[in-house]
Amino acid sequence: MSNKLNDIVLAVTLENAVKYGGRPNKGSVIGKVLFILPQYRGKLDEIMPIIDSVIKKVSGLSIEEQMTMLKQLEHILPKKDERIDELPALPYAEEGKVITRFAPNPDFVLHLGSVRPLLFSYLYARKYNGKFIVRFEDTDPRTKKPKIEYYDLILKDIKWLGIRPDEIYYQSDRLEIYYDVARKLIEKGYAYICRCKPVEFKNYISQGKACPHREETTKINLNLFDKMVNGELLEGSAVLRIKTDLSHPNPSIRDWPALRIIDTRKYPHPRSGSKYFVWPLYNFSCPVDDHFMKVSHVIRGVEHKVNEEKQAYIYRYMGWQPPYAIHHGRISIPDGVLSKSKILNGIKMGIYSGIDDPQLATLAALRRRGFKPDAIRNVIMRGGLKPSLSVIDWSLLAAENRVLIDKEANRYFVVRNPLKAIFRFNEDRHEIHIRKHPDFPDRGHRILRLNIANKYVNIFIDEGDKQVFIIDKKLRLIGLGNFIVSGYRSDGTIKLKYLDNDVAKAKRKRFPFIHWVPADDNIDVELVYPDRRVYGYGEKELAYEHVDSAVQLERLGYFRIDELKNNKLVLFFTHN
Ligand code: GLU
């Protein structure tokens, strides 16, 4: 009887009890347990005694106790929105035996393109009740230099997407494992230490010839390898190569390099400093890890197709079974730069403010702009794992996201590059109440306060509405009333004449509906768009929304509140 079964039965029973006011419903518990653990279908007599005893135990608890216990166990239940049943079956997948991994290089953060291998690896592990591993591929302290903050940021991105790794590994902790396999390969005669200069080696290999070191004795090779490991050889002076087919049609596969020296006294590794001098290349560490981590399925980009061929040598020489690999196409998004080097260069040159600059399609940037993780998951999931390029349009992402945030987002007025308007107001209405959300009256109203000084009221309107304010034009200021433009003052202030507050008439006569902000009761606002920053005023109550909430600025679109500093509210544009 596995612990997993017991835990699942307990978690399902608690969840069910809490849902039904403290009393678990046996039929639903059985159904859900079998849904999560389909391997027990047809083995009811095996699980019934457990279910019975757990139901008895849970029924004896108070609902508060049930809720507390559920909180601790809830994470083992599949999330309701994981939609794993929509995934097509994975070839060669066995229940409980699917082990997948996502293997980022911590020299950058995740972006939209990273989500595909990450999400599918995770979901397939969940679908088959297997295991999902995150493995940091950080064995290049020189050119793909890992940065300590990226490890954390990547984990933050993963968590933000609602993904929980079962295990996390760091390749930089595993060097002894790679050395061990390297020595075995030398002993078996499948690897050697090449001391050629790069041009010399290229010369040999382009002619399909062996370099002079290829046939040296095991003893010499082992000895040299130890020297490399002990830091006795200089960077670039020796490399461990895997013997392949010297006439392979792809020259990059001919005796490819597996481990090389990096002088960590010059290029210290952020996790292990100068402790190690020999570092595996991706094509070596990857199959070694996939093997020892018992990875059953690998989901990665098509750019790794040739690598698969290189890695196949390791599996063959070591007598290991390779995992089943799916190579999916790249993702591109118009104008959303997804190239690591372009982004890092852009940051250096000041084109981007940082990894979360709103022009970028990094997860950090999408998060800051107010995209919800589920919108990203839905878009990526819909695209599937096809090998061709997928172009994700911003409008697609916006459409998914709009559905998710529209209910949450309260409505407010913000005017950009404001223009002043003035009107005489005889009404005794000092407070204009407007619903926070048209569909949720219970959220109440926001109040725009009018300062009626000597019967005159000053307001601000959005610069973009300038063309509406031409003499004799009728319009409606939302919530306030119907007006006609009567003229301009010499300082440019627009003069309005109040007509009435008849909304039906305004609709019937198709008056433009214009938003506005009281001139004496507002807050400074900065709107951050991907390509520009715009300043203006917002209605005061906007400042009571929490940082991080989604709001809809009427007629401008959806925004995420980024911060309130020195009485100025900064909002990031999400989408229209
Ligand atoms: N670190 C590799 C990458 O980010 C992993 C590729 C793989 O999944 O094998 O592309």
pLDDT tens for each residue of the chain, 576 residues long: 467 889 999 999 999 898 878 889 898 899 888 878 878 888 888 899 999 999 999 999 998 899 899 988 888 887 655 778 889 999 999 999 999 999 999 999 999 999 999 999 999 999 998 999 999 999 999 999 999 999 999 999 999 999 999 999 999 999 999 999 999 999 999 999 999 999 999 999 999 999 999 999 999 999 999 999 999 999 999 999 999 999 999 999 999 999 999 999 999 999 999 999 999 999 999 999 999 999 999 999 999 999 999 999 999 999 999 999 999 999 999 888 888 999 999 999 999 999 999 999 999 999 999 999 999 999 999 899 999 999 999 999 999 999 999 999 999 999 999 999 999 999 999 999 999 999 999 999 999 999 998 999 999 999 999 999 999 999 999 999 999 999 999 999 999 999 999 999 999 999 999 999 999 999 999 999 999 999 999 999 999 999 999 999 999 999 999 999 989 999 999 999
Tokens of 405: 């945030």
Cα 86 to Cα 63: distance, rounded to the nearest angstrom = 34
The domain in which residue 368 lies consists of 332-405
**Domain CATH number, residue 386:** 1.10.1160.10
In a domain, 434, yes or no: yes
pLDDT recorded at residue 79: 67
In a domain, 88, yes or no: no
Kindly state if the Cβ of 103 falls inside 6 Å of ligand 1: yes
Q: How far is the CA of 234 from the centre of ligand 1 (A)?
A: 28
Nearest 5°: CA angle at 169, between 166 and 174?
150
254 & 303 share domain: no
* Closest C-alpha to ligand 1, atom 9: 300
**Strand pairing class (550-553; 557-565):** antiparallel
546 & 458 share domain: yes
Domain total in the chain: 5
Considering only CA atoms, give the Rg of the chain: 32
In a domain, 89, yes or no: no
147 & 234 share domain: no
Tokens of 276: 């190690």
272 & 128 share domain: no
pLDDT recorded at residue 2: 60
**Domain CATH number, residue 414:** 2.40.240.10
Q: Which atom of ligand 1 is nearest to the CA of 105?
A: 1
Using most ligand atoms within 8 A of CB, pick from 99, 100, 101, 105 the residue to mutate for ligand 1. 105
pTM for the predicted model, two decimal places: 0.85
* Closest C-alpha to ligand 1, atom 10: 104
Q: Which of 217, 247, 280 is the last residue of a domain?
A: 280
Stated as kind and residue range, the H or E segment containing 484 is strand 481-488
498 & 532 share domain: yes
414 & 537 share domain: yes
Cα 289 to Cα 311: distance, rounded to the nearest angstrom = 11
Q: How far is the CA of 300 from the centre of ligand 1 (A)?
A: 6
Q: How far is the CA of 320 from the centre of ligand 1 (A)?
A: 20
Half-sphere CA count of 380, side-chain side, radius 13 A: 27
Q: How far is the CA of 136 from the centre of ligand 1 (A)?
A: 9
pLDDT recorded at residue 1: 47
Kindly state if the Cβ of 104 falls inside 6 Å of ligand 1: yes
Kindly state if the Cβ of 286 falls inside 6 Å of ligand 1: yes
193 & 309 share domain: no
Residue type, 235: E
439 & 533 share domain: yes
Q: How far is the CA of 449 from the centre of ligand 1 (A)?
A: 57
In a domain, 148, yes or no: yes
Residue type, 41: R
414 & 367 share domain: no
DSSP, res 78? P
Half-sphere CA count of 333, side-chain side, radius 13 A: 23
In a domain, 81, yes or no: no
Q: Which of 11, 45, 76 is the last residue of a domain?
A: 76
pLDDT recorded at residue 83: 77
Q: How far is the CA of 458 from the centre of ligand 1 (A)?
A: 60
Using the CB atoms, write b or e for 544-574: b if 16+ within 10 Å.
Answer: ebeeeebbbbebbebbbbbebeeeebbbbbb
194 & 157 share domain: no
